[in-house]
């Protein structure tokens, strides 16, 4: 465990109750001593202030934190202003993404792809930021082909990214194959595996349809067989995801990035099994 980098992702709460709940969750997850926490950035920058507020609160608690930065709808001026605010608050790590398009929203903005955002960040701030980008072992849902998707990933790394975090998956072979292809394409930076704990089958299916993550047939059938038996779903999910994490780490994954959904129990349980 000590040789791997582990990180945990949150989304910025939108209510006072959500903010308080996240504080409780964060206190529990901080006991695991992750390398850093990351905080997502809503479609079109809709949670921009909430993202920064959450990151700053995490930093005040003594932990490293990385805001996500999406370029959808952004202008050179607006992104420059956000970067200046990050620097003014001594933030040195960020996750740079193209980002999801808000419903009914055209491409807009002055950046089309994440590599353009990364090039801009480097031109504006040099090496101030450690930049993480997204990777898609099972292909981005909007990519034309696996090769096009790989080419897009390589462009992001060449633009100045330091490391990558993958979309979640439940097929370790997809991750290993993607890493192998990236290495052949000249990418040497760490590619951290993104991990989504399984706690709710309906929610998982909805997320996976949106982001293009494949739920293997045997997992889908097993989850369906449990119906509304939440305890069995969670127990099965814990076994499946922990087993996959063990295989990923044994196979050379440099670390794991947990999509916590602002909950502590599942991530903690997986983590403790891996120690």
Residue-wise pLDDT tens digits, 42-53: 655 556 788 989
Please tell me which residue in 9, 57, 61, 85 is annotated as part of the active site.
9
By the 10 Å C-beta count (0-12 exposed, 13-18 middle, 19+ buried), 108 is classed as middle
Q: Is residue 33 part of a domain?
A: yes
- pLDDT computed for residue 73 by the predictor: 72
Q: Is residue 213 part of a domain?
A: no
171 pLDDT higher than 90: yes
9 among known catalytic residues: yes
Q: Is residue 214 part of a domain?
A: no
Query: Which residues span the domain enclosing 25?
Result: 5-197+255-263
Q: Is residue 37 part of a domain?
A: yes
DSSP H or E run through 10: strand 5-10
Q: Is residue 59 part of a domain?
A: yes
Count of the separate structural domains present in the chain: 1
Residue 163 sits in a domain whose CATH number is 3.20.20.220
Q: Is residue 232 part of a domain?
A: no
Question: pLDDT band for position 7 (50/70/90)?
Answer: very high
The mean pLDDT of 181-202, rounded to a whole number, is 96
Q: Is residue 219 part of a domain?
A: no
DSSP H or E run through 133: strand 130-135
Q: Helices (DSSP H) in 61-171: which residue ranges?
A: 76-88, 114-125, 146-158
Q: Is residue 51 part of a domain?
A: yes
Give the tens place of pLDDT for each residue, 120-155.
999 999 999 999 999 999 988 888 899 999 999 999
């Amino acid at each position: 465990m000590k040789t791997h980098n582990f990180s945990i992702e949150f989304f910025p709460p939108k209510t006072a109750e959500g903010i308080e709940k996240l504080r409780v969750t964060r206190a529990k997850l901080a006991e695991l001593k992750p390398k850093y926490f990351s905080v997502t950035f809503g479609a079109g920058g809709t949670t921009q202030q909430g993202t920064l507020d959450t990151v700053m609160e995490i930093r005040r608690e003594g932990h490293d934190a990385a805001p996500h930065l999406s370029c959808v709808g952004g202008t050179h001026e607006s992104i420059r202003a956000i970067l200046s605010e990050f620097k003014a608050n001594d933030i040195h790590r960020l996750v740079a993404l193209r980002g999801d398009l808000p419903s009914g929203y055209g491409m807009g903005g002055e950046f089309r792809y994440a590599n353009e955002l990364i090039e801009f960040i480097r031109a504006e701030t040099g090496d101030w930021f450690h930049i993480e980008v997204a990777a898609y072992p099972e292909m981005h849902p909007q990519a034309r082909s696996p090769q096009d998707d790989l080419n897009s990933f390589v462009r992001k790394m060449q633009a100045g990214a330091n490391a990558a975090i993958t979309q979640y998956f439940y097929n370790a072979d997809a991750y290993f194959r993607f890493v192998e292809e990236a290495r052949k394409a000249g990418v040497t930076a760490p590619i951290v595996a993104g991990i989504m704990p399984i706690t709710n089958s309906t929610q998982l299916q909805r997320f996976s349809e949106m982001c293009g993550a494949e739920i293997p047939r045997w997992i889908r059938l097993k989850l369906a067989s449990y119906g509304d038996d939440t305890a069995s779903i969670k127990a099965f999910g814990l076994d499946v995801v922990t087993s996959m994490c063990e295989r990923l780490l044994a196979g050379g994954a440099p670390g794991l990035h947990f999509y916590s959904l602002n909950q502590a129990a599942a991530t903690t349980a997986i983590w403790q099994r891996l120690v």
